Structure 1
Amino acid sequence: MQHHDDSIAAFVDRARDNYAVLAVIVDGSVSSGTERPDSDVDLVLVLTEDAFAQAWQENRLSYVERDGITYEGGYYDIKVASVAYLRRAADHADDPMRASLLHARIAWSRLDDLADLVAAIPRLPEEVWERRMASFIAQVRLHGGYFLKQAVQLDNEFLLHHAAVHLVGAGGRALLALNRTLFQGQKYLDRTLARLERVPAGYADAAHAVLSTPSLQTGTAYRDLIENFAAWPITAEETLSTFVRDNELSWYTGRSPIEYA
C-alpha cells in the first residue's frame, strides 16, 4: 500500500545518513503482500559488526519506532542484524527466522551480495526435510502412544495436556516437513496446514478433538491419522532413540530440541 511504501522510503532516507547501517530489509506482511491498511512495517536493519555488537550489548535487538511513519497508528517493528548474523542464519537459523525472510525485499543496501545471502536463508537441503520428518513422527509416536497413555494411567492432568499439545505440534510439523514448508510459528500453524496439498482428510477435526478433549481415544485417532498418511522415513525400532537424541540429549549434541528448530 502506498502509505507503507512512503513510510519505508522515509526510513531509508534517514538510514542512508548513518554509516553504521549497511542495509534495510522489509519483511513481514508488507513484503509478502498480506498487509492490512493498519499493518506495521517490519524491518531488518543490517548493521556493521561493531554496531551489531553494541546493540547486542545494550540489549537493543528489537524495538519500535514511529518517526517517519506516514499513517495514523502505524510503526516500524525493527530487528537488527549484521552480515555475519545473516550468514550464520543461513546455516543455523530456526524456522520462524527463515520463514520471516521468505518474501523479504531489500529496500536499500550498500552491500552488493545481500540479495543472494537473504535468499539463501529460507532454503533447506532435502536431507534436512527428511531428517525432520523422521524426528517429528518419532515425537508423534511417543506423545501419542506413550506419554498420553501414561497421563491417563497416572491421572496426571499436566502430562495429559502437555502430551496433547506436543502431539498436535509434532504432527503438524511432520506434515510441514512432508510438504517442504517452513514453520512460521505457533499462531500460524493451523493456517499454514489448511492451505497445503498433502494433509490427511479430516486433519483439522482430529487436531481439534485432541486439543479440546485430550484423551487416549482422541490422541490415538490423531496419531493413527498422521502415521498412516505417509511412508515416514523411520522404523518403529528407531523411534525411541530418535526421540531421546532430539529431546533429552540436546545438552550433548549442542542442538536445540527439534520443536524449536
Structure 2
Amino acid sequence: MLHPHHHAALERFIEHYTQNPEVQAIVVGGSLAKGFGKASSDLDVLIVIDEAQYTLRKASQNLSYYSEDFTDYEGGYVDGKHIGLSFLQQVAEKGSEPARAAFWKSFIAWSRHDPAELQVLLDRITTYPEAGVAERIHRFMAQVQAMHWYVGEGEKHDNPYLLNWSATRAVLFTSRMLLAHNRLFFPYHKWMLKMLELAPDVPDSYLQKADQLMRHPSVEGTRELCDLVLQFRDWGTPSTYWTNFFLQDSELNWLTGHTPIEDL
C-alpha cells in the first residue's frame, strides 16, 4: 500500500521521467505494491523503455535506477530498473518464481500508449505456472528430507555451520513446499515468510515454529519442522527416492546447469 508521501513521490517521478521519449510506461512494484511495505519503504519502479534503448542499456549494463530527488521523507528513494517488452515476454514464457513474483500485485502507474498489451503480459507473468508443480514439490521435499538427516550430522560432528545451514534450508524448503502447494510464488528470501502468511493451507503452527528455529537452531527444532510439513498432507508418491533428487539437484546439477531449485 502506498502512503500519501509515496503517491506524491510517484507523481513527481512520472512528471519528470516521462518527458524522456524512450520511456513507454511506469510500473510500480516492490513491497509497497505487495502490501508488505512500511511508511519508510522505498518506491520501486519498473521503467518500460523502447526496445532500441533497452538493447543499448543492456549492452552497457546500465539497467538499474536510483534517485533520492523525488522523495521528501527520511530515508526515502526511488529504486528500480529499465526493462523492455521483450524482457516481459521472456518472463511470461520462462521466468523463475522470483522473476514472476517481482510483478505480483504490480500496477501500471503511467503509459504512453494503450496499456492493454502491457497488462496482458503482466497477467501472464503473475499467473502461477501449474505445469510441473507436483515434481517441484517432490524435489523441494527431497531437500527437506536431506536436511532432516544433515542436521544430525552437524550435531554428531560438532559442526555448528552444518547445523545452522541445515536448519535454515529446512525452513527454506518446507516453505517452498507450502508455497507451491498454495500456488504462491517464491518471492526470494526477503519476503518468503511474509508471502507464506497469505497461504490458506499451511500447518497452524508452521510460521511460529519456523521463526523459533531461526532464532534458536537445533536438531530437535529442525526435525520437528520437517516432520510437521512432511506429515501435513499426502504429498503423493515421488518418481524416485529422495536421495536421487538430492543428488541431481545439489551434487550433479553442474552437469546441466539447470535444476528445479535454481531460483534460490
- Taking structure 2 as the reference length, the TM-score comes to 0.85
Shift of 1:132: 2.2
Asked if 2 retains the 8 angstrom alpha-carbon contact of 1:152 and 1:216, the reply is: yes
Shift of 1:236: 8.5
Q: Unaligned 5+ residue runs, structure 2?
A: none
Counterparts of 2:160 and 2:73, CA distance in 1: 46
Q: Does 1:127 align with 2:149?
A: no
Instruction: Name the residue aligned to 1:15.
Output: 17
Q: Unaligned 5+ residue runs, structure 1?
A: none
Measured at CA, do residues 123 and 247 of structure 1 come closer, stay the same or move farther in structure 2, by a change above 3 Å?
farther
> Which amino acid in structure 2 is aligned with residue 149 of structure 1?
G
Counterparts of 1:33 and 1:163, CA distance in 2: 31
Instruction: Name the residue aligned to 1:247.
Output: 250
Shift of 1:226: 1.0
Residues 149-207 of structure 1: per-residue CA shift (max 9 Å, x gap):
22222222221111111111101111111111112232323333334221113223432
Instruction: Name the residue aligned to 2:144.
Output: 140
Structure showing the higher helix proportion among its residues: 1
User: Comparing 196-205 with 1-10, which one deviates more in the overlay?
Assistant: 1-10
Aligned length: 259
Asked if 2 retains the 8 angstrom alpha-carbon contact of 1:66 and 1:76, the reply is: yes
Task: State the SS of the aligned residue for 2:225.
Answer: helix
Q: Of the candidates 210, 221, 227, which is equivalent to residue 224 of structure 1? A: 227
Match runs of 1:58-77 below 5 Å? 58-67=60-69, 69=70, 71-73=72-74, 74-77=76-79
Counterparts of 1:213 and 1:33, CA distance in 2: 29
> Which amino acid in structure 1 is aligned with residue 79 of structure 2?
D
Measured at CA, do residues 47 and 235 of structure 1 come closer, stay the same or move farther in structure 2, by a change above 3 Å?
same
Counterparts of 1:169 and 1:62, CA distance in 2: 28
- Taking structure 1 as the reference length, the TM-score comes to 0.86
Task: State the SS of the aligned residue for 1:80.
Answer: strand
Task: State the SS of the aligned residue for 2:100.
Answer: helix
> Which amino acid in structure 2 is aligned with residue 134 of structure 1?
H
Counterparts of 2:168 and 2:190, CA distance in 1: 13
Shift of 1:43: 0.6
Task: State the SS of the aligned residue for 2:183.
Answer: coil
Task: State the SS of the aligned residue for 2:126.
Answer: coil
Shift of 1:70: 5.5
Asked if 1 retains the 8 angstrom alpha-carbon contact of 2:141 and 2:177, the reply is: yes
- Determine what percentage of the aligned residue pairs are the same residue: 31
Shift of 1:54: 2.8
Q: Of the candidates 204, 210, 214, which is equivalent to residue 211 of structure 1? A: 214
> Which amino acid in structure 1 is aligned with residue 263 of structure 2?
Y
Measured at CA, do residues 167 and 31 of structure 1 come closer, stay the same or move farther in structure 2, by a change above 3 Å?
closer
